[in-house]
Chains A and B, each alone.
Chain A
């Protein structure tokens, strides 16, 4: 119970801080709009190219906005030396990690839903039939991203070149999850059943579990170092 309360209070703190300051959400939404304008300009009115590229574009947008959001995850802990307080808090530090991952996951999912809605408007595509499948694929693809992203954000929080190091570390590790997510999204948008992409979904689940467990096991050492 204490573990859950500690994870919850970290999530609550991040949510309240973000709701009041809106620093990350505003930046992400602005960045998303910018991406959509660039994609729209590049693809033009060619619907065939658009349909073929849509799954990749969606996840490219999610990854790029995720990088911006996750990169800011520990900035608030550096202000006023709050990081020291987290380090000195007695008890299992993985509760702090879990709270941070949950906060990042919620923020990323909010942005992804808004992005998805903007995609349908900007590119005039109908994703209505694919929505139930996307409701499963999006969280599965985002959990692994948030898990490993939160871990690397903590790892690079005190590094001088963190803006460069963070994506360089994160993106290669993220490749398997990204592949699974794009392939599953492609099938969903093409109207195929999820059964046809079971191996990719299994890869997503495996990636999520591995990244989350790795984060839970190593966060204490990262915080201490």
Chain B
């Protein structure tokens, strides 16, 4: 098992990307991204469609190999030692990872067993209660709405208890109540020492969780700013400027 820490990254860094490049053929999606996310910190990844947000998250999650550069997740190089990196991260992409013909509880049981997490029914039911799906625990996922599926996908992360959360537009499909719950959950996750990187298009829902905003444009990191210093409106102006320059 190789545990590899970038000497340039801050000591309390849970995710560190250095010189990250990704090209699909001649199309360069990411061009030298450097990004550090510390313990207890949430970074909102902003950018227009095709800016590379999902690609960045999928590389960090070890689902896609970078063309060059590296990402260290919870102390493990995600390219050279993906197995160790995977133990420390939780990923929520566009797909829900749900089996439609299993019930909510059965889906949680499947993923927690496969991931080597606690599979006690009480724990799984508690995770379902946390996302307010306990009443539907024995219903097949096929009967769920998109928002309920999103909540169940989040319950999977609650069971896994990762150190780093990589979330691709986590608030999409959630109603106001669900969004509020997720915001609170992410705040709790941060205060427990976890790190969050989430892509978003919205400056409203969920943006309050972010401590920093990293704006991607033209494959590059156009800005990396503290949200508190600029406010949501300031970040939005910066985003518009970066999007214009990126195109």
CB within 8 Å of B: which residues of A? 2, 5-6, 9-10, 12-13, 16-17, 20-21, 76, 79-82, 84-91, 96
Contacts and interface: CB of A to CB of B under 8 A. Distances in A.
B114 A6 contact: yes
B115 interface: yes
A53 B47 CA distance: 66
Interface string B88-113: 01010111111111100010011101
Contacts of B96: 80-81
Contacts of A81: 93-97
A6 B97 contact: no
A6 B113 CA distance: 6
B83 interface: yes
A79 B140 CA distance: 15
Contacts of B102: 13, 16-17
B115 A76 contact: no
B243 to A, nearest CB: 28
A76 B98 CA distance: 10
A20 B94 CA distance: 26
B93 A84 contact: yes
Chain B contact residues: helix, strand, loop or mixed:
loop
A96 B114 CA distance: 9
B230 interface: no
Given A88-B62, A90-B116, A91-B116, A13 B95 contact: no
Given A88-B91, A90-B86, A80 B114 contact: no
Contacts, number: 71
Contacts of A86: 114
13 contacts: A9-B113, A13-B102, A17-B101, A20-B101, A79-B99, A80-B96, A84-B93, A87-B62, A88-B86, A88-B89, A89-B114, A90-B83, A90-B115
Interface string B41-68: 0000000000000000000011100000
B18 interface: no
Interface of B: 61-63, 83, 86-87, 89, 91, 93-102, 106, 109-111, 113-116, 140
A88 B63 contact: yes
A140 B110 CA distance: 30
A76 B96 CA distance: 13
Contacts of A87: 62-63
Contact of A84 (B97, B114, B140): B97
A84 B115 contact: no
Given A13-B110, A88-B62, A88-B86, A80 B98 contact: yes
Nearest to A12: B110
A90 B106 CA distance: 19
Contacts of B95: 80-82, 84
A76 B97 CA distance: 10
Contacts of A91: 114, 116
Contacts of B110: 9, 12-13
B62 A13 contact: no
What are the 3 A-B residue pairs with the smallest beta carbon separation, nearest first? Answer: A81-B95, A85-B97, A9-B113
A132 B106 CA distance: 38
A90 B98 CA distance: 18
A89 to B, nearest CB: 4
Contacts of A5: 113
B116 A80 contact: no
A9 B116 CA distance: 11
Contacts of B111: 85, 89
A175 B208 CA distance: 62
Nearest to A13: B110
Contact of B99 (A2, A82, A88): A82
Contacts of A82: 95, 97-99
